[in-house]
A and B are shown apart, each in its own frame.
Chain A
Amino acid sequence: MLNDSILTLTTFVPAVGAVVVALLPRQGRIIQWFTLAVALLTFGLTLHLPFHYIYGQPGFQFEIDRAWIPNPAIRYHLGVDGISMWLVVLTGFLAPLGVLASWNAINHRTKEFYFFFLLQQTAMIGVFVSLDMFLYYAFWELTLVPMAIIISMFGRDRGTEAAIKFFVYTFLPSALLLVAIVWLYARTGTFDFVRLQSILAQNTAAFPPQALFWASLAFLVAFAVKVPVFPLHGWLGDVFSEAPTAMAMVVAGKLGLYSILRFNLGLFPAQARQVAPWMVALAVIGILYGALVALVQKDMKRLAAFSTVSSLSFCILGIFCFAVSGLDGAIYQILNEGISVGSLLLLVGFMYERYGTYEIASYGGLAKRTPHLATLFVLTSLSLVGLPLLNGFVGEFLILSGSFAGHEAWVSAATAGVILSAAYMLWMIQRVFYGAESGMVTDVPVTDMSFREHAAVWPIAVLMLLMGVASPIWMRAIDGAAVKLASPAALVHMAVKQ
């Protein structure tokens, strides 16, 4: 019984919470506590999934499939599989941390902030669980709105520009995505992902190959902007440096990468292989470009942005090599990216709350003042760099080893990205935490991390270690999905015909 409604609950509990937030009085910290409770409740609900997931069973689980709009046939169809289940949990996990991160940072217009924060939560979970293309698209577009409004309202100083840039960047290609979705509907008469998948797998001959290719490209571009894939990353730097921590934590990576895995590999396996050489090249360029640009950043948030471009490109590399271990690594790396970059942004945000700047040069010798913060910062950096025993290593190792065969030159070049990432992260740590104390650090007295801040970062720190040593917990579900993506039915079918 609960299995049927669990996805509906996880998706809409935050939205209901948002409505309640809008009605709460603006007094004291009622709104914060309430949002925290909603976020924790949502996280608790998402935890239902891994405990009741039937490992080894192919296809979607926790499905619910009801008619929503009779004509055109749009269904309310939700479900998760190995790709999406942990992403839902990750989204639920990050939400309470986001609330804790915003506790003091957002001190005006709290009602608006938490309203949109919770709405964003619903939209993101909705993207991961929707199995009706139309419903999926609706949530996909909805993710833009709260994000853009929050960036505009709570940006540092150029929030509005960053918000509009973000919105237009992602909205334009999404319009083409809609054309492609509707075109598929016009051809097949269904929006249902599962049915579309089997229709496309069985009679590819019924579709003009050229048109299918363009449709898959429309999908890919829309998702690549959202990831972002080099050279479509123009929005990320501005958004990272303007957005409040809680929003920057969720803006990049998982939505776009999930969609590529689900739709480009799921619906258009042959077309995805057609563009694979290009995507591998872009991924490697992105890895190196992101790392090199990160190396010269003077602002910690912009550094985080370009390091994100670099490490998300690793995921693209893993995806478009179509090897099981590469896909495993890519899916794992999406989760890593969510928590490790989340942790980095949290810590940088705490420093901003203390000193009011992200500029690396203003800091120096901070480790003596805030030893806890420094320790967690180093741990996070090591995870991002890919140190063995931490989560980042598992993902990067799987990606590089899985994709090496057949792409030797590209992957060798990508490995240089690992070294560069160590360079920019460690160099930043050296400048910020060690060396002589800067004037600012000496002049501004600060305290080390508070209980609230510990509560926000420690769960991530524990998880980084756990994901580094006990990856099978996650891999059990991921691997099944990756195997299916690596050898989809459509290609097997085509091979049989030839």
Chain B
Amino acid sequence: MTQVPQAYRILPELLLTLTGVLIMLIEPLMPSGMTRKPIGFLSLAGVIAALIASVWQLSLPSGTAFYGTVQTDAFSVFFHVLICSIVLVALLIAFDVFDGTKERPAEYYALVLFGAMGMCLMTSAVELLLVFISLEISSIATYILAAIRKRSGKSPEAGLKYFLLGSFATAFFLYGIALTFGATGTTNISEVAAALPNSPVPGFASLAVAMILIGLGFKVSAAPFQVWTPDVYEGAPSPVVALMSTGPKVAAFAVLLRLTYGAYPQLQTHWLLLVWIMAALSMTVGNLGALRQHSVKRMLAYSSIAHAGYTLVAFTALSGEGIAAAMFYTATYAAMNIGAFAVISHAGGYDDRLVSVADYRGLAYRSPLLGGALAFFLLSLIGIPFTGGFFGKFYVFTAALHSGEVWLAVIGLVNSGVAAYYYLRLLMSVYGKPSDDAPVQLIPRLKGSLTLALLLTVSATLILGIFPGRILAMARAGAATFTGESAR
């Protein structure tokens, strides 16, 4: 077997970083009145290149590089492709939003690219410290992005809240790493797994798993670590929420999968209980919370908590099927959620003109395309057949039932029944008759970039809902490299 050049293993990350740096260098050279569209195109090109590079990595034999800190395999490629696609859509959503505002869109583009690089690296890192560093890279970028709307009060507040609680959570994660090192004398994931059975202080390892679950639970906004989510989503600009409700979560789920199944398979009984509780709580808290919301963004924030819960249900299956179901679910969740936020971002505009469910009344009348797309994503979030959301839930609960987790499946499905109510409330509002006395909110004309974003997300959700076979096969391939790893 020929040696694969080490740089190939981090090619997508390199491309993203280079594009980001390039943007930072070019932006000051541009005259201040000039449009920042070219930078937008540049960032799009960078992400597309990274996407292609990720797919190309599949042709490499899977293996590690840089002294066993980075690993490319079917698992990492699955998440690389997913994250690059998310970032691509997020860039398209934001493409026109910053026009005519006083913000500096180039900052946005560069930060998104650096964040994307962090997220990608999270999914291929197999060394706990590198995981931590990439987690921080992605988090710091998102903290700033949440606060990017500097001239409104809410955005910096959201950013600060996110930052303070987020740093707290990463501290927990770091404790977890330290304790792992204490228990096993290594921070390399596969070595941790090998050393765990002979650990002189097994109590440390259990504590480490708990700490890591807390840290990552915060990142995926699983209950009881979810409190920040509604406030931050409400305050941050919608295009940013589109990204941060999907990208970092997907990456965090990838890390969670790698750690629970890759590093701590011996401690299954410990983390299984914790994950079980987190899953049940997240679904219940998320859905019950969403029932009481009037603001659409807060409602979707609670909904994203519930969806984190559904994903965690798949973890409890303890099988390759469960891992594949979790991977598949992250993909469907990303497609439908980012799609919903694309609509909200365009309908509400830069300063969130549409806030409450009532504001969306009659959206389908004023813009049939936008209203139809939102309705479609909401149906997918409910889990109606022939949409990705249905298959996602289906695989998750099939995996759980296969492993005998009947109660968790029942809790989850009853929850999804409850969830139908609040999604429907918005859906019915979108299709309801616009009330006569309310002031008519003008919906800006659909731009090409947003149309493309909607087209991508709608078709992704449809493909996941009608022909899920291919994507599930990829997820299974990812899970297989992985169960092979944990079985060793």
Q: Give the residue of B394, B416, B424, B468 whose beta carbon is less than 8 angstroms from that of A148.
A: B424
Separation in Å of the B287 CB from the closest CB of chain A?
A: 12
Complex Cα gap A172–B467 (Å): 26
Q: Is B401 an interface residue (CB 8 A)?
A: yes
Complex Cα gap A12–B375 (Å): 22
Docked-complex contact B416 and A175, CB < 8 angstroms? yes
Complex Cα gap A145–B364 (Å): 16
Q: Is A160 an interface residue (CB 8 A)?
A: yes
Q: Is B45 an interface residue (CB 8 A)?
A: no
Q: Give the residue of A69, A163, A179 whose beta carbon is less than 8 angstroms from that of B413.
A: A179
Complex Cα gap A141–B416 (Å): 13
Separation in Å of the A288 CB from the closest CB of chain B?
A: 31
Separation in Å of the B387 CB from the closest CB of chain A?
A: 10
B 401-414 binary contact with A (CB < 8 Å = 1; else 0): 11000100110011
Docked-complex contact B424 and A168, CB < 8 angstroms? yes
In B377-408, the 8 Å CB interface with A consists of 379, 382, 384-386, 390, 394, 397-398, 401-402, 406
Q: Is A139 an interface residue (CB 8 A)?
A: yes
In the complex, which residues of chain B have a beta carbon less than 8 angstroms from the beta carbon of A355?
A: none
Docked-complex contact B417 and A182, CB < 8 angstroms? no
Q: Give the residue of B379, B386, B413, B427 whose beta carbon is less than 8 angstroms from that of A178.
A: B413
A 102-131 binary contact with B (CB < 8 Å = 1; else 0): 000000010010000000000000000000
Q: Is A61 an interface residue (CB 8 A)?
A: no
Docked-complex contact A178 and B397, CB < 8 angstroms? yes
In the complex, which residues of chain A have a beta carbon less than 8 angstroms from the beta carbon of B424?
A: 148, 163-164, 167-168
- Residue of A whose beta carbon sits closest to that of B385: A138
Docked-complex contact B385 and A69, CB < 8 angstroms? no
Known: A168-B420, A168-B424, A172-B414. A182 touches B384 (CB 8 A): no
Q: Give the residue of A70, A149, A172, A185 whose beta carbon is less than 8 angstroms from that of B417.
A: A172
Separation in Å of the B205 CB from the closest CB of chain A?
A: 33
B-side interface residues, number (CB < 8 Å): 39
Complex Cα gap A496–B365 (Å): 64
Complex Cα gap A138–B389 (Å): 12
Q: Is B202 an interface residue (CB 8 A)?
A: no
In the complex, which residues of chain A have a beta carbon less than 8 angstroms from the beta carbon of B397?
A: 178-179, 182
Docked-complex contact B428 and A163, CB < 8 angstroms? yes
Docked-complex contact B384 and A145, CB < 8 angstroms? yes
Docked-complex contact A153 and B431, CB < 8 angstroms? yes
In B431-477, the 8 Å CB interface with A consists of 431-433, 467-469, 472-473, 476
Q: Is B425 an interface residue (CB 8 A)?
A: yes
- Residue of B whose beta carbon sits closest to that of A176: B413
Separation in Å of the A187 CB from the closest CB of chain B?
A: 9
Separation in Å of the A100 CB from the closest CB of chain B?
A: 24
Q: Is B421 an interface residue (CB 8 A)?
A: yes
In the complex, which residues of chain B have a beta carbon less than 8 angstroms from the beta carbon of A141?
A: 384-385, 390
In A397-455, the 8 Å CB interface with B consists of none
Docked-complex contact B409 and A179, CB < 8 angstroms? yes
Chain B interface main SS type: helix
Q: Is A71 an interface residue (CB 8 A)?
A: yes
Known: A164-B425, A179-B410. A138 touches B390 (CB 8 A): yes
Separation in Å of the A76 CB from the closest CB of chain B?
A: 11
Separation in Å of the B164 CB from the closest CB of chain A?
A: 38
B 352-376 binary contact with A (CB < 8 Å = 1; else 0): 0000000000001100100000010
Docked-complex contact B428 and A160, CB < 8 angstroms? yes
Separation in Å of the B299 CB from the closest CB of chain A?
A: 15
In B139-173, the 8 Å CB interface with A consists of none
Separation in Å of the A144 CB from the closest CB of chain B?
A: 8
Q: Give the residue of A142, A159, A173 whose beta carbon is less than 8 angstroms from that of B386.
A: A142
A-side interface residues, number (CB < 8 Å): 35
Separation in Å of the B419 CB from the closest CB of chain A?
A: 10
Docked-complex contact A149 and B427, CB < 8 angstroms? yes
In the complex, which residues of chain A have a beta carbon less than 8 angstroms from the beta carbon of B432?
A: 152-153, 159-160
In the complex, which residues of chain B have a beta carbon less than 8 angstroms from the beta carbon of A183?
A: 401, 406
In the complex, which residues of chain A have a beta carbon less than 8 angstroms from the beta carbon of B431?
A: 112, 149, 152-153
Known: A172-B414, A178-B413, A186-B401. A70 touches B469 (CB 8 A): yes
Q: Is A60 an interface residue (CB 8 A)?
A: no
In the complex, which residues of chain B have a beta carbon less than 8 angstroms from the beta carbon of A72?
A: 398
Docked-complex contact A142 and B385, CB < 8 angstroms? yes
Docked-complex contact A175 and B469, CB < 8 angstroms? no
Docked-complex contact A176 and B385, CB < 8 angstroms? no
Known: A71-B472, A163-B428, A164-B424. A186 touches B398 (CB 8 A): yes
Q: Is A137 an interface residue (CB 8 A)?
A: yes
Complex Cα gap A425–B328 (Å): 55
Separation in Å of the A145 CB from the closest CB of chain B?
A: 6
Complex Cα gap A314–B262 (Å): 59
In the complex, which residues of chain B have a beta carbon less than 8 angstroms from the beta carbon of A142?
A: 384-386
In the complex, which residues of chain A have a beta carbon less than 8 angstroms from the beta carbon of B421?
A: 164, 168
- Residue of A whose beta carbon sits closest to that of B476: A71
Q: Is A53 an interface residue (CB 8 A)?
A: no
In the complex, which residues of chain A have a beta carbon less than 8 angstroms from the beta carbon of B476?
A: 71
Chain B CB within 10 A, most for which of A159, A179, A185: A179
Docked-complex contact A182 and B394, CB < 8 angstroms? yes
B 292-331 binary contact with A (CB < 8 Å = 1; else 0): 0000000000000000000000000000000000000000
Complex Cα gap A164–B427 (Å): 10
In the complex, which residues of chain B have a beta carbon less than 8 angstroms from the beta carbon of A148?
A: 424, 428
Docked-complex contact A167 and B420, CB < 8 angstroms? yes
Complex Cα gap A149–B431 (Å): 7
Complex Cα gap A253–B363 (Å): 33
- Residue of B whose beta carbon sits closest to that of A116: B431
In the complex, which residues of chain B have a beta carbon less than 8 angstroms from the beta carbon of A153?
A: 431-433
Chain A CB within 10 A, most for which of B382, B385, B394, B469: B385
Complex Cα gap A139–B384 (Å): 10
Separation in Å of the A226 CB from the closest CB of chain B?
A: 14
Complex Cα gap A405–B416 (Å): 44
Chain A CB within 10 A, most for which of B379, B394, B428, B433: B428
Separation in Å of the B253 CB from the closest CB of chain A?
A: 22
In A169-191, the 8 Å CB interface with B consists of 171-176, 178-179, 182-183, 185-186
Complex Cα gap A102–B7 (Å): 66
Separation in Å of the A196 CB from the closest CB of chain B?
A: 16
B 194-218 binary contact with A (CB < 8 Å = 1; else 0): 0000000000000000000000000
The 9 A-B residue pairs with the shortest CB-CB distance in the complex, in nearest-first order: A138-B385, A172-B417, A175-B413, A175-B417, A152-B428, A160-B428, A171-B420, A141-B385, A186-B401
A selection of 18 A-B contacts at a CB cut-off of 8 Å is: A72-B398, A109-B365, A138-B386, A141-B384, A142-B385, A144-B384, A145-B384, A149-B427, A152-B428, A164-B421, A172-B417, A172-B418, A173-B417, A175-B413, A175-B414, A179-B401, A179-B413, A186-B401
For the complex with contacts A148-B424, A160-B432, A168-B421, 7 further pairs of A-B residues with Cβ separation under 8 Å are A137-B385, A142-B384, A142-B385, A144-B384, A160-B428, A179-B409, A179-B413
